[in-house]
Amino acid sequence: MTLLSPPPMPGTSGTGVNPSHPDGADDQPRTVGRLTQDDIASLVAAFVGSLALTWLVYFQLLPLSGKVGFLFCWYAAFLAVYGLVSSFGNPRPVVVDRLWGAAVAGAAGVVFFAVLSVAIYTLVKGEGAWIHGNFWTHDMAGVGPTETLTHGGITHAVAGSLIELAIATAVSLPLGIGTAIYMVEIGGRFSTVVRTVVEAMTALPDILAGLFIYTVLQLGLGFQRNGFCAAMALSIMMLPIIARSADVSLRVVAGGLREASLALGASRWATVWRVVLPTARSGLATAVILGLARAVGETAPVLITSGASTFFNTNPLKNPMNSLPLFIFSSVRSGEPTYITRGFGAASVLLVLVVVLFIAARLLSREKTKR
Amino acid sequence: MTAVADVSPASPLPDDDKPRSLGSGIGGSDRVFQVSATGVGAVVLVITGAIGLFLGYQLIPTLHNYGLGFFTRAVWNPEQNLLGISGVVVGTIEIAVIALAISFPLALGTAVYISEYAPNWLKGTLVALVDLMAAVPSIIYGLWGLLLISPHALYVARWINSYFGWVPFLKVDTDPRAAAFSAHNYVSSPFIAALIVSMMVIPMACAVMRGVFAQAPIGEREAAYALGSTRWGMIRSVVLPFGRGGIIGGTMLALGRALGETVAVLLIISPEYDLKFKPLEIGGITVASLIANQFNDASSSQLSALLAAGFVLFVMTIAVNTVAAIIVNRSRSGAQTDA
Amino acid sequence: MTTIAPPPTIDLARLEEPEPERDPTGAQLDAVNISAWFGTNKVLDRVSLSMPPGTVSALIGPSGCGKSTFLRILNRMHESVPSAKLAGEVQLNGQDIYAPGQRITETRKRIGMVFQKPNPFPAMSIAENVVAGLKLTGAKVSRSAKEALIEDCLQRGGLWAEVKDRLDRPGGALSGGQQQRLCIARSLAVSPDVLLMDEPCSALDPTSTRRIEETIAMLRDQVTIVIVTHNMQQAARVSQQCAFFLAEQGTPGVIVESGPTRDIFERPRDQRTSDYVNGRFG
């Protein structure tokens, strides 16, 4: 299906004469499935033609402006010209094929352009903040609203995020994997209920997790705004994610392995602990990382529960505790340009964090498929 | 010589052929294991179930305080204690539906491209990129939308208004051809919020669709090619019909996510609580952003009302997600698990 | 690679050889009036079979006749299926393994099982796989004893020569036949009295099959072996006694005929047995 030709094999020409071809004719593999000249010519012609046409009409004949509009019109003109050019000497199915191919590639192009622009824009806009050393070593305590970017930093938000995530993981990891073990290894009618509820809870809008904790822990039980409440809200978000993906990775452990273990005289507990969990370990690690990647960027729950401090605080039970997403949110909301830049700086850190977690999850699951 | 036993039944067949009880002799550690695993399952059920019940329970004080008008009024006025969520619910659906209209063709196109067009060396990277896009926190999309996309989207909104303003819901209450372009009428609109939300839901929908497309049987693909089909002809006759469940299910999963999105909408939109269908115009609200806006100053009865609004959102999301999950699972019937 | 696939005809000459005098160390296993159900569907009806030590007993019969169910009943794997029910007794040296006082894990340790599909534990190395049973049942063994046990079991499983240089490699990296012999070695490491084999060669090529059959012949003085097989030539090659299972249209499975292997193949008493061993159905 690919349009790529394999690279020519080095050192085959002239050497090792094939006895059945005494003339020494080269035995090079042929390139197949390459684009025809007509394919390439039509594509290039449509590309250039539509660019010229659009430029002429858009800027010269009509009083239009704006880059977005130009790109839109160019793409539309390109499809029209491409279809027209292709219809000379090609049957209808080929024309349709080319147009849809162009449309599909266009959609994919827009999406990938967008995702790259998100990443690049965030990193570039944040550079003004993260380029300074103090951004990595200070908190925002006592930094006035007009202070330049050489003051203040995000250590308090990073520390807060890490502490909240650690607590949330400590709560949701055993519960999530325990639930998955229950659903897969014990089973029964009651487990269907648990599975249905867990599935439903993955759809819980994030704001509701925060609101629930706010109402129950803070209004009901009198907790102050602190990191612990935020961690509880995050663990409500993480729990169903971990339970569900751990459920999937335990279920794909082949039943034959369990039988083999039981047939050796192992108890069910020993089978789960020594055979099922080690076999599924990379899947379980991926489940936890997916939960972490989700929780680290959750803004709505921490917005409601933790309170945005400006100072470094490592005690989750006392005083508000900031976190990266909350810091980004409040910085951007302030409208102050230096704060917005700091927000982008923090967003760069958050983005890199998510990418790192994501790559870790990928590597783990790749290791699994290799086995 | 080993005596090969006479294996014909030694005794006549018994008449009482009743099942005996099994499962005796299970060790103590296994009982502990069974009980504790069930206990964990029950705890999680209680925690998660409690949230749903807790939210639902708030309907009682809310209806008591605000009456059935809570569902029909389109106003949120805490000072006069006059609350109603019809405008908010409509706004939520409006933004989700627009987001879906934008994301559906893009997600479908991307999924088809990755599964059918992308060269093999690129495929893995693109799949990873889409998955990564799903992991990017919504706050980052919010920033991107607020500061990069929003200024450009204004012009698109104005363009739509000037040429399609005769369609009632595409109208903005301003003169599109006025000499001075009044940008403030176009900013902070549901349309722009939906644009950002659509970026968030594209990867979800795309991943589901691509997963199903990849399972389209190779035999049918080759059969289509062997009949002289073009690539698009094969996609239309084999891949898309095969992946229909995935397309619908993935889109509905995206809808569920779009309904519940908070922060990106909160950053973009300028809150307005009345009932209106002008997505291009400034002002709108969703349930999630209503809660984030109002929870701080709410009295206890107003908090109940917010929780009840949250419950309405929760029910909508769960309904959409459940239907989506059923459709996706049905379309994946070929993939069985060895359990 | 010079081994030729087993010939399609049964080697009758070999069956006529007199059995040498031996002193087997396996255990006596007796199934008495075993019935089995899945839900309300009865799959076995009052089946009795005696499996003496030093003997390889082959269970043959067409698919769906209940022979695998019967095998799984012999070491209490049957009850891991939620809807499974059972009547009758399985006696190991005269002791009913389903009696209330019997520990299920102890029973399975004494009656090992090898499955149709080789299933080494993927998260463990070859050596760890061999001693997995000890780890899983919580038995403490010294390091040197463990190494000796690994070598001994792999020798008995006929795998030692092939893997002795790579004991720390994952078990999944072996070929299918080697994996199956690893699974046999794994079962032997907990020193069972009986070894059940559920079509151990059906997923393997002829060469690997031959190696496993040699292993079975070597092991039969040490443990009582019960093997389910679809392959009649295999049953004739490896077993001393044979039980023919059959489930006729809508009825639960029964043993139509059982006895010394050569009788079953040469002088079957029942017409259906004769039809089956001569390949008229199945």
Report helix, strand or coil for B251. helix
Looking at residue B103, its pLDDT comes to 93
Residue B191: which of B99, B259, B254 has the closest Cα? B99
Domains of chain B: 89-296+310-331 (1.10.3720.10)
Q: Could you read off the pLDDT of A12-32 as tens digits, one per residue?
A: 444 444 455 555 555 667 666
Domains of chain A: 37-130 (no CATH), 155-370 (1.10.3720.10)
Tell the residue number behind the tokens 């949230």, with chain if given: B51
Contact flag B1-C19 (C-beta cutoff 8 Å): yes
Q: Say which range, A56-60, B32-36, C256-260, has the weakest mean pLDDT.
A: A56-60
Tell the residue number behind the tokens 């149709």, with chain if given: C116
Answer yes or no: are the C-beta atoms of B44 and A201 closer than 8 Å: no
Looking at residue A139, its pLDDT comes to 78
Contact flag A266-C133 (C-beta cutoff 8 Å): yes
Q: Which residue of A has its CA nearest to C122?
A: A279
Task: Quote the longest CA-to-CA distance of chain C.
Answer: 57
Distance (Å) of CA C265 to CA B285, C6, C50, C238, C239 = 83, 17, 19, 13, 11
Report helix, strand or coil for C42. strand
Q: Could you read off the pLDDT of A221-249 as tens digits, one per residue?
A: 888 888 888 899 999 989 988 998 899 88
Q: Which of C121, C149, C182, C184 should one mutate to test binding to chain A, selecting the residue with the greatest count of A CBs within 10 A?
A: C121
Contact flag A297-B40 (C-beta cutoff 8 Å): no
Mean pLDDT computed over B327-336: 60
ipTM: 0.80
**Tokens for B77?**
């006025």
CA distance B232 to B229: 8
Q: Which residue of A has its CA nearest to B259?
A: A205
Interface of A with B in 34-53 (CB under 8 A): none
CB contact set of A63 (below 8 Å; sequence gap of 6+): none
Q: Least CB-CB distance to B19: which of C37, C52, C105?
A: C37
Confidence of residue A347 (pLDDT cuts 50, 70, 90): very high
Q: Which residue of C has its CA nearest to A272?
A: C136
Looking at residue B5, its pLDDT comes to 44
CA distance B57 to B310: 11
Looking at residue B220, its pLDDT comes to 80
Could you tell me whether strands C56-60 and C84-92 are parallel, antiparallel, or unpaired per DSSP bridges? unpaired
Q: Could you read off the pLDDT of A154-196 as tens digits, one per residue?
A: 888 888 888 999 999 999 999 999 999 999 888 888 888 888 8
Residue A357: which of A295, A296, A293, A294 has the closest Cα? A293
User: For residue B180, what is the DSSP state?
Assistant: S
Interchain contact A300–B (C-beta under 8 A): yes
B241: exposed, middle or buried (Cβ count in 10 Å: 0-12, 13-18, 19+): exposed
Q: Which residue of B has its CA nearest to C49?
A: B7
Contact flag C137-A259 (C-beta cutoff 8 Å): no
Kindly tell me if the per-residue pLDDT of C243 is higher than 90: yes
Residue A210: which of C252, B163, B116, B55 has the closest Cα? B55
Answer yes or no: are the C-beta atoms of A288 and A243 closer than 8 Å: no
**Tokens for C258?**
């059982």
How far off is chain A from C109, nearest CA to CA, in Å?
Answer: 4
**Tokens for B59?**
């309907």
- What are φ and ψ of residue B144, in 5° steps? -60, -45
pLDDT > 70 in chain A, percent? 88
Looking at residue B111, its pLDDT comes to 93
Which helix (H) or strand (E) element contains residue B241? helix B240-242
3-state secondary structure chain A: CCCCCCCCCCCCCCCCCCCCCCCCCCCCCCCCCCCCHHHHHHHHHHHHHHHHHHHHHHHHHCCCCCHHHHHHHHHHHHHHHHHHHHHCCCCHHHHHHHHHHHHHHHHHHHHHHHHHHHHHHHHHHHHHHHCCCHHHHCCCCCCCCCCCCCCCCCHHHHHHHHHHHHHHHHHHHHHHHHHHHHHHHHCCHHHHHHHHHHHHHCCCCHHHHHHHHHHHHHHHCCCCCCHHHHHHHHHHHHHHHHHHHHHHHHHCCCHHHHHHHHHCCCCHHHHHHHHHHHHCHHHHHHHHHHHHHHHHCCCHHHHHHCCCCCCCCCCCCCCCCCCHHHHHHHHHHHCCHHHHHHHHHHHHHHHHHHHHHHHHHHHHHHHHHHC
Q: Could you read off the pLDDT of C143-198 as tens digits, one per residue?
A: 899 999 999 999 888 889 899 899 998 888 888 889 999 999 999 988 899 999 99
**Tokens for B49?**
């179930």
Q: Which residue of B has its CA nearest to A171?
A: B44
Contact flag A207-B260 (C-beta cutoff 8 Å): yes
Task: Kindly report the number of other CB atoms within 10 A of residue C233's CB atom.
Answer: 16
Interchain contact C243–B (C-beta under 8 A): yes
Looking at residue A14, its pLDDT comes to 42
CA distance C118 to C204: 9
CA distance A96 to B233: 9
Cβ-Cβ pairs closer than 8 A, A with C, add up to 81
Looking at residue A4, its pLDDT comes to 42
Report helix, strand or coil for C45. strand
Contacts of C108 in chain A (CB under 8 A): 262-266
Answer yes or no: are the C-beta atoms of A118 and B140 closer than 8 Å: yes
Kindly tell me if the per-residue pLDDT of B206 is higher than 80: yes
Answer yes or no: are the C-beta atoms of C235 and C80 closer than 8 Å: no
Tell the residue number behind the tokens 């090659």, with chain if given: C237
CA distance C108 to C98: 11
Q: How many CA atoms lie within 13 A of C56 on its CB side?
A: 24
Contacts of A198 in chain B (CB under 8 A): 44, 48
Instruction: Give the residue with greater pLDDT, B83 vs C146.
Output: C146
Q: What's chain B's average pLDDT? A: 81
CB contact set of A319 (below 8 Å; sequence gap of 6+): A224, A226, A309, A313
Looking at residue B109, its pLDDT comes to 94
Task: Kindly report the number of other CB atoms within 10 A of residue B321's CB atom.
Answer: 23
Tell the residue number behind the tokens 């898309």, with chain if given: B240
B19: exposed, middle or buried (Cβ count in 10 Å: 0-12, 13-18, 19+): middle
Interchain contact A167–B (C-beta under 8 A): no
Contacts of C100 in chain B (CB under 8 A): 24-25
Interchain contact C108–A (C-beta under 8 A): yes
**Tokens for B136?**
């990017």
Mean pLDDT computed over A251-267: 87
Q: Least CB-CB distance to C85: which of B6, B14, B19?
A: B19
Interchain contact A181–B (C-beta under 8 A): yes
Q: Which amino acid would we find at residue C106?
A: E
How far off is chain A from C106, nearest CA to CA, in Å?
Answer: 6
CA distance C214 to C55: 14
CA distance C96 to C89: 6
Q: Which amino acid would we find at residue A217?
A: L
Mean pLDDT computed over C122-129: 87
Contacts of B304 in chain A (CB under 8 A): none
Q: Which region holds residue B14: left if phi is over 0, alpha if psi is between -120 and 50, else beta?
A: beta
Interchain contact C202–A (C-beta under 8 A): no
Q: Could you read off the pLDDT of A55-79 as tens digits, one per residue?
A: 887 777 766 666 777 788 888 888 8
- CATH code for the domain defined by C28-277: 3.40.50.300
Confidence of residue A2 (pLDDT cuts 50, 70, 90): very low
Looking at residue C260, its pLDDT comes to 93
Distance (Å) of CA B213 to CA A1, B114, B174, B241 = 15, 10, 45, 9
pLDDT > 90 in chain A, percent? 11
Contact flag C136-A278 (C-beta cutoff 8 Å): no
How far off is chain B from A311, nearest CA to CA, in Å?
Answer: 22
Contact flag C103-B1 (C-beta cutoff 8 Å): no
Looking at residue C282, its pLDDT comes to 62
Looking at residue A65, its pLDDT comes to 63
Confidence of residue A129 (pLDDT cuts 50, 70, 90): confident
Interchain contact C79–B (C-beta under 8 A): yes
Q: Could you read off the pLDDT of B223-254 as tens digits, one per residue?
A: 777 777 788 888 888 888 888 888 888 888 88
Q: Which residue of A has its CA nearest to B27?
A: A267
What's the alpha-carbon Rg for chain A, to the nearest Å?
A: 29
Looking at residue B100, its pLDDT comes to 92
Q: How many CA atoms lie within 13 A of C141 on its CB side?
A: 20
A-contacting chains (≥3 CB pairs under 8 Å): B, C
Contacts of B4 in chain C (CB under 8 A): 52, 55, 240-241, 259-260
Report helix, strand or coil for C108. helix
C-contacting chains (≥3 CB pairs under 8 Å): A, B
How far off is chain B from C142, nearest CA to CA, in Å?
Answer: 24
Q: Sign of torsion, CA A276 A245 A180 A291? A: positive
CA distance A247 to A256: 18
**Tokens for A84?**
């027209």
Kindly tell me if the per-residue pLDDT of B331 is higher than 50: yes
User: For residue B174, what is the DSSP state?
Assistant: S
Contacts of C243 in chain B (CB under 8 A): 7
